[in-house]
Structure 1
């Protein structure tokens, strides 16, 4: 098992490599800003090994992003670049911190009876629907949209997802019960200098099925599938309670992910 410092290094190296297939990197002082299609944006991040980040660099990154039609967003490993939170606040961004976890001792959990898992193919006609669920986390006002109603940016994003699934850069897994999705999740493998690393994102279960262990079992299955090719699997949890759910399937706390974005209007 690598040291704590080594694991954080791996997360930073993954984050630096993940946008390269989608975007060109533009420097903004100590930050690297991926400029690519708005349908699949990547946040600006401090260059690996960066110590102090000044607020002017954050402002410069935001200008680059907004000029390219991208959301203003910066992410970082808090333990590696602790100055960035204050710099982002000074630049007018809203800063949050979330638990950063890595797979340590994976645990296999069984799905409830009647629930089946499937890997979603690039040509699956329901892929736009699953994409919507990945992003909305089964939110009540976004529940079960008709795939034919997904237009504009959602269409473009689903198109990017199809390409990513076809190339193996994103793996989508769905849990179905009676033909209806009750859980969905994904991970995004990247080869980083010969080391397979992947990040799990978007794991969610239907509110109507919560309390049955669907989300935890889906996360467990995603980890097992990811570890077939990845040497390291990590994720950022939405809060401490969610992080404790991931601990049940063998994740261990590693640090914190810092996220900075424009405050909501109104």
Structure 2
């Protein structure tokens, strides 16, 4: 299972980034506008990573003007953390969770419609893209909605939203299929609509869509143990620890 997730992690950025090989590490560099990527272990490498390899990648990231960030799975590449921490980066731990079965049903939130959003649904698309950013006090970069629409048309992204009575997204998220594997990402709810179960309902819609489209393995990374318990209500269980390192 973790090997399939590793293959997914190596494949999913390649639709919008170039991969630079740096020995035991691969640096993904976004082509064009959009959120910057990160470095991670080269697919198939599970051994120790030396400090100088990490520092070389960090130097390249500074040269490119992108964040000095690394992402990996603790159980798959246990030999990376020591070098990353020795280089001065802070490592954050997050539960890596896999869905068991088809997912459990959750009550439908009152006063909202939870559904998938297509690329041609421009009004809903714009607010569905903005909602997860608003959850963290941010605004999407110009052109983000258009890029998401292109990815939807290309079959690279699926978008779900909880819409209020006038069609404004209060919560939204995505799953990104690569073959028979898909990851649920970017689920967020605007602050004024929290504690209504909207994020869980959006996640349930994404899970149902992924399974309907043939996804055999559906997974996500929870921000912390409390959020992981919420996802457990949908049938997700923790299988490993995702690590994110940043300056």
Using the size of structure 1 for normalisation, the TM-score is 0.84
Aligned partners of 1:112 and 1:212 also within 8 Å: yes
| Structure 1 residues 160 and 255, CA gap change in structure 2 (3 angstroms) | same
In structure 2, the partner of 1:254 is: 239
Match of 1:173 among 160, 165, 182: 160
- Deviation by residue 1:172-207 (Cα, 9 ceiling, x = unmatched): 11101222322111111112xxxx111101112233
Aligned partners of 1:200 and 1:235 also within 8 Å: yes
What does 1:1-150 correspond to in 2, within 5 Å? Answer: 7-37=1-31, 38-50=33-45, 51-105=47-101, 106-123=103-120, 124-136=122-134, 138-139=135-136, 141-142=137-138
Shift of 1:74: 0.8
* Structure 1 residue matching 2:161: 3-state secondary structure: strand
Aligned partners of 1:107 and 1:250 also within 8 Å: yes
* Structure 2 residue matching 1:234: 3-state secondary structure: strand
- Deviation by residue 1:64-84 (Cα, 9 ceiling, x = unmatched): 233233222110010011121
Q: How many angstroms apart in 2 are the aligned matches of 1:156 and 1:212?
A: 30
In structure 2, the gaps of 5 or more residues are none
In structure 1, the partner of 2:174 is: 186
* Structure 1 residue matching 2:182: 3-state secondary structure: strand
Q: How many angstroms apart in 2 are the aligned matches of 1:132 and 1:74?
A: 26
Stretches of 4+ moved more than 6 A in 1?
A: none
Aligned partners of 2:161 and 2:171 also within 8 Å: yes
Shift of 1:125: 4.0
Shift of 1:56: 1.5
Match of 1:227 among 203, 211, 225: 211
Using the size of structure 2 for normalisation, the TM-score is 0.90
In structure 2, the partner of 1:243 is: 228
Query: Number of residue pairs matched?
Result: 241
| Structure 1 residues 157 and 71, CA gap change in structure 2 (3 angstroms) | farther
Aligned partners of 1:203 and 1:219 also within 8 Å: yes
| Structure 1 residues 238 and 125, CA gap change in structure 2 (3 angstroms) | same
Aligned partners of 1:101 and 1:235 also within 8 Å: yes
Root mean square deviation, CA, Å? 1.9
Q: How many angstroms apart in 2 are the aligned matches of 1:120 and 1:205?
A: 16
| Structure 1 residues 69 and 132, CA gap change in structure 2 (3 angstroms) | farther
Q: How many angstroms apart in 2 are the aligned matches of 1:211 and 1:258?
A: 27
